[in-house]
Structure 1
Amino acid sequence: MTSPYTRGDSYSSEASRKHIQQALAAYGATDVVFSHRGNLSAVAFRGDGRQFRIVMPILQSEGALAIRGDIADSRLHEANARSLERANRKSWHALALAIDAKLGAAAAGIATLESEFLAHVVLPGNHTVLDELEPVIDSAYRSGRRPSFGRPDPSARTEESQVPADFPHLRSVPSPTARRGS
C-alpha cells in the first residue's frame, strides 16, 4: 500500500513547481522559468554554462461538457476535473522527484548536470538534443543501421574515448521491425 505522499497526491502542482525552483536555485541554476502552452508545460533554466528545457504533457479535458442542468452531468464534470487535477499533480510531483535525483547525482560528482539533463540541453536554434536526435534514433531502429552522428568512421575513435576491454558490453538491440516479424 502506498501513502498519498508517495503517490504525489499531497502536493499541489504549484507546490511541486516551487520545489523544483528551489532545488534548481540551491544547485546554482539561474533564470528558472515555467511556461504553459496548450497541453504542454515546461521548465527552463541555465546551469553550468548551458540552457535546459524540460517539456511535459499536461492532461486537459476534451472540451467543456455540455451541462444540461442535470445533476449527474454536473457531478461527472466535477469528477473529471478532479481526475485531471490529480493526474497533473502526480506528473508535477514525479518531475520534481526526477529533477531532485538528477541534481543529487550532479552534486555528488556521479554525473554532470549536462549528462543528467542531456536530452533537455537547448541547442542553437532553440531545439533540444532530444528534438534533434529523436528522428535519427527512430530512423536507426527502422533501418537497423547504426547512425554515425556526424562521424565519418564510427570505428575511428581516439584512444581516450575507447571503452575499456574489460568493460561489460550490452548486446545489440534488434530493430522494432525485426521484432514484429518474429
Structure 2
Amino acid sequence: MTGPYTRGDSFTSEASRKHIRRALGDYGATDVLFTQRGNHSAIAFKGGGRQFRIVLPLLQSEGPLVIRGDIADGPLHEANAKLLERANRKSWHALALAIDAKLAAAAAGIATLESEFLAHVVLPGNKTVLDELGPVIDSAYRSGRRPSFGGPAHA
C-alpha cells in the first residue's frame, strides 16, 4: 500500500527545498540558491571546486481549462490547481530523494560529488555538461558514429 509519505505528496515543496539545502550544507556545499523562471525552478550550489545547477520543470496549466458552462473559476479550476500543486510537491520530493542518494554515494566513497552530479556541472559560458553534450549524444545515436570530444579517437 502506498501512503502519502511514500508518494511524496505529504511534503510541501518548501519542506523539500529546506531538506535539500540542509543536506547539501551538511555535505559541505556552499552558495545554495533556489530560483524560478517561468515553469522552471532551479537549484544552484558550489561543492568540490565546481558549480552545479539542476533545473526542475514545474507543471503548469496549459491555458484556460476547457469546461462547459461558466465555472472556469469554480470547482474544476480549483481541482486542477490542486492536482498541479500536488504534482509539483512530488517533483520536489523526488529531487530531494535523488540528491540524498547522490550525496550518500559520494560520502561513502562509491562516487565523487562531480561524478554524481556530472550532468549538472556548470561550464564556462553558463551551460551545463548536459546542455553541451546532450545534442552531441543525440547526434551520435542518430548517426551510429562515436562522437568526437576533441581528443584522440579510440578504436
- Please classify the TM superposition score into its range, dividing by the shorter chain length: over 0.9
TM-superposed CA distance for 1:93, in Å, is 0.2
Alignment CA distance shift 1:61-1:46 (3 Å)? same
Q: Evaluate the alpha carbon distance shift between residue 147 and residue 67 of structure 1 in structure 2; reply closer, same or farther with a 3 A threshold.
A: closer
Deviation track 1:137-161 (CA, whole Å, cap 9, x = no partner) reads: 0000110101121122224xxxxxx
Residues 70 and 110 of structure 1: CA distance in aligned 2, closer, same or farther (over 3 Å): same
Give the SS at the match of 2:74.
helix
* Aligned pairs (5 A) from 1:1-182: 1-65=1-65, 70-71=70-71, 74-155=74-155
Give the gaps of 5 or more residues in structure 2: none
| 1:53 aligned partner, one-letter code | R
8 Å Cα contact 1:148-1:154 kept in structure 2? no
Q: Partners in 2 of 1:38 and 1:11 — Cα distance? A: 22
In 2, are the aligned partners of 1:61 and 1:84 still within 8 Å (CA)?
Answer: yes
For 2:11 and 2:82, how far apart are their aligned partners in 1?
14
* Contact in 1 for aligned 2:65/2:72 (Cα 8 Å): no
Matched residues in 2 for 1:36 and 1:143: separation? 36
Letter in 1 for 2:56: M
TM-score (norm: length of structure 1)? 0.80
Q: Secondary structure at the match of 1:44?
A: strand
Q: What is the SS of the residue equivalent to 1:33?
A: strand
How many residue pairs match? The answer is 155
Identical amino acids, percent of aligned pairs: 81
Preserved CA contact (<8 Å) 1:44 1:52:
yes
8 Å Cα contact 1:67/1:73 also seen in 2: no
User: Judging changes above 3 Å, is the alpha-carbon distance between structure 1 residues 135 and 72 closer, same or farther for their aligned structure 2 residues?
Assistant: closer
Q: Which has the larger radius of gyration?
A: 1
Where does structure 1 lack aligned partners over 5 or more consecutive residues? Answer: 156-182
Could you tell me whether the CA contact under 8 Å between 1:67 and 1:74 is conserved in 2? no
RMSD: 1.9
In 1, distance between residues paired with 2:148 and 2:66?
53
